[in-house]
Amino acid sequence: MRAPVKSTVADGHMPAFRRLFGRVAGVVLVLAALAVLVALGTWQMQRLQWKEALIGAIAERRSAPAVPLEQIEAMAAAGGDIDYRTVHASGIYDHGRERHFFATHEGRTGFYVFTPLMLADARALFVNRGFVPFEKKDSSKRSEGLVAGKVTVNGLARPKLSGKPSSLVPDNDPAKNIFYWKDLGAMANSTGISSDRVVPFFIDADAAPNPGGLPVGGVTQFDLPNNHLQYALTWYGLAAALVAVSGVFVYRRRR
């Protein structure tokens, strides 16, 4: 008759070890999840402070007196933030080279009209003159708005994009003069203007009316989403719920 095989672990020790390991693992997982939730909430609070500061800075810039184009150019060359800074520039519009950016305005589909403003030094400054409805894309259908002679434009400086903002955005179609994202280089190249003769940022014209009512100026969007407080409260709420559920679980186990 074979002798029974002796266990290397005393009877009852293995189940107890497994229970202890399970409890420790559970505590570690709960603490890790809690740390992640609190960290996410804190990050959203930091984002909230950043967004509020940005909104305040934009509001301050918009209310500041307009400065000459040369001053904004110097700021941009020095690496400064020129976005939403008020500026004025003088020149002659080259309406034959206007570019069209697909956009909506007050529920209507159409285009923002970007027209090169030819400066005294023969450089071109692309100005977003404003919105025209889809059926008015052809400039011949809004000839009154094709102002001639020297003009002074007041507006907001807007930096050029370094690349396509998202893979979801369609590719620009320079051949049809339809742009889905503001590629300054492509706009300039499609007009035959040399890139070294282009001011390296845009201007969004203010809401001063144009003859004939088109384009409709002052289309710059300032509605920056600021839901960070809501997100922070959500993460902190989930952290509190996790603590509550864990507490109830421990209480019931002890009973």
Q: What is the DSSP letter of 97?
A: G
- CB-based contacts of 129, cutoff 8 Å, min separation 6: 98, 112, 113, 114, 115, 145, 205, 210, 215, 217
In this predicted structure, the answer to whether residue 5 has a pLDDT above a threshold of 60 is: no
pLDDT in tens, 57-66: 888 988 899 9
pLDDT in tens, 26-47: 788 889 999 999 999 999 999 9
pLDDT for res 59:
87
In this predicted structure, the answer to whether residue 14 has a pLDDT above a threshold of 70 is: no
pLDDT in tens, 124-182: 999 999 999 999 999 999 999 999 999 999 999 999 988 898 999 999 999 999 999 99
Q: String of b and e for 174-194 (b: at least 16 CB within 10 Å)?
A: eeebebebbbbebbbebbebe
201, exposed or middle or buried, with CB in 10 Å at 0-12, 13-18, 19+?
Answer: buried
In this predicted structure, the answer to whether residue 251 has a pLDDT above a threshold of 80 is: no
With beta carbons less than 8 A apart as the criterion, state whether 208 and 129 touch. no
CA quadruple 121, 122, 123, 127: dihedral sign: positive
Indicate the pLDDT class of residue 216, thresholds 50, 70 and 90. very high
β-bridge partners, 88: 68, 154
pLDDT for res 17:
61
How many other CB atoms are there within 10 angstroms of residue 71's CB atom? 14
β-bridge partners, 157: 203
With beta carbons less than 8 A apart as the criterion, state whether 29 and 246 touch. no
Map residue 127 onto helix, strand or coil: strand
In this predicted structure, the answer to whether residue 4 has a pLDDT above a threshold of 80 is: no
How many Å apart are CA 170 and CA 168, to the nearest integer?
6
Residue reference for tokens 């934009």: 58
pLDDT for res 120:
96
Of 61 and 69, the structure prediction assigns the larger pLDDT to: 69
Kindly state the average pLDDT of the residues 200-229. Answer: 91
Kindly state the average pLDDT of the residues 75-82. Answer: 94
In this predicted structure, the answer to whether residue 229 has a pLDDT above a threshold of 70 is: yes
Q: What is the DSSP letter of 1?
A: -
Global confidence as pTM? 0.77
Q: Alpha carbon of 251 to those of 207, 243, 246: distances in Å?
A: 65, 12, 9
With beta carbons less than 8 A apart as the criterion, state whether 175 and 113 touch. no
pLDDT for res 22:
62
In this predicted structure, the answer to whether residue 99 has a pLDDT above a threshold of 80 is: yes
Closest to 37 measured CA to CA, from 229, 231, 249: 231
pLDDT for res 24:
73
In this predicted structure, the answer to whether residue 9 has a pLDDT above a threshold of 70 is: no
pLDDT for res 189:
95
Torsion of CA 169, 173, 179, 183, to 10 degrees: 80
Indicate the pLDDT class of residue 7, thresholds 50, 70 and 90. low
